[in-house]
Every structure is written in structure tokens, then in C-alpha cells.
Structure 1
């Protein structure tokens, strides 16, 4: 069981910084510019995830950076980001609830997508 969660603490620390970036950009776009939550959440995710992808590749997974891995991560997690934002719009959720829900989902799902898909170890 320990191997499954190996790297999760480092991923979480980087995730806290990611969350601060994400939430600030989200609220700037959704409150200051009055954009819809779906678009605000997606753009905020792209900004924050670019930072965390780089940091996790170096420090959490000790893995070489790749454009393909970056695009795969951004597509999978970006779809989740847009979907949660869309539900926030549809259900008229407060923006804080929308980004909190996305942050919780992306912490766990993002870790497993990163570990087992994007930065997976290849058999030698």
C-alpha cells in the first residue's frame, strides 16, 4: 500500500502552491472580469498546472519532462477542470465551492494520473 502513495506528500506540497495560484487566477477572472466559472476554472487550471507539472516532474517523480506528457496531463485534468466549472455554472454554485471541489478532486485524481499515466516507470 505504501508504494501506491509514494510521492504523495511532495505532490501535496506542490499542490498547495498550485492551489494558491489557481484560486487567485480563478477569482480574478470570475469576479473581477465577470467570466463564467467554466472558462475561469479552465484558464486558472492551465496557469497553475503548468507550474505544478514542471515541479512534479523534477521533485515528485524525478522524471524527464516531455511535451507529450504535458499535453496528456493538461488534456485529462483540463477536461475535469472545465467540467467542474460547467457544473458550478449549471448549479449556480458559489465560486469558492467550485474551486474547492475541483482542488479536492484534482489532488487525488491528478496524483494517480501523474503517477500511473504521465510519469509512469517504464520496464527496463
Structure 2
């Protein structure tokens, strides 16, 4: 991409990162967790994976580590942390957080209006 579009390496890396994380988010949403993707979930996932990417680059620079070693280690770390963050933060099952006593048993106002026109006064 650097030669084809005359971009700096950082721009190419950013485009590749966004493409990979976006693909991962939607594949995880549809195939792995079978959940509907949300904008909030996408932003959380991008934030987590972006932080991992920056941290990996920082560690590699500070420790003067081989770029190939950092690429392989980032791939493994992002695979593991990406899966667990997606499972427990991005695509978590919100209904498991509710106690049975917290579930609302009152029907919505629109349903009550269909059965009882006086429900407006009681709401």
C-alpha cells in the first residue's frame, strides 16, 4: 500500500489495523457470538484493540525488540485478549446481569392502552 498510494507506513498500518479490527468485530458478532453488532460495542472493541496495538508498539520501541517478534507476539496477544474482551465486554449477555426480581412485569403503556383506555390516568 505504501508504494501503490504513496502513503507513509503509519497511514498504511492504520488502514490495515482498522480494516482487520472491523472485519474481526463483524465476524465475531455474526459467527462467534451470534449477537447483533452495535455502535457502542464497535467503539469499545476498537478502543481495546487500539490500546493493545499502541502498547505493543511502545514495548517494542522501548525494548528494541525485533519487529517480526512484535508482530507475532501482538498477533497472539490480540487474538486472546480480543476474544475475551469481545466475550465479556462487547457481546456480553446483559440479561444475565438482572435478577428475576428486577425484571419488569408491567406491560408497556401501548399494550395497556389497547386493553384499558383509562390506563393513561393510572400511569
Give the TM-score normalised by structure 1.
0.64
Q: Which residue of the partner structure matches residue 109 of structure 1?
A: 81
The residue correspondences of 1:1-124 to structure 2 (distance < 5 A) are: 35=9, 43-123=15-95
Structure 2 gap segments, 5+ residues each: 97-123
- Once the two structures are TM-superposed, the CA of residue 44 in structure 1 deviates from its matched residue by 3.4
Q: 1:41 to 1:85 in 2, by over 3 A?
A: farther
Q: Which runs of 4+ in 1 moved over 6 A?
A: none
Judge conservation of contact 1:72–1:118 (CA < 8 Å) in 2: yes
Judge conservation of contact 1:57–1:65 (CA < 8 Å) in 2: yes
- Once the two structures are TM-superposed, the CA of residue 100 in structure 1 deviates from its matched residue by 0.8
| Root-mean-square deviation (Å) | 2.6
- Once the two structures are TM-superposed, the CA of residue 85 in structure 1 deviates from its matched residue by 1.0
Give the TM-score normalised by structure 2.
0.64
- Once the two structures are TM-superposed, the CA of residue 86 in structure 1 deviates from its matched residue by 1.5
Compare CA radii of gyration and give the structure with the larger one: 2
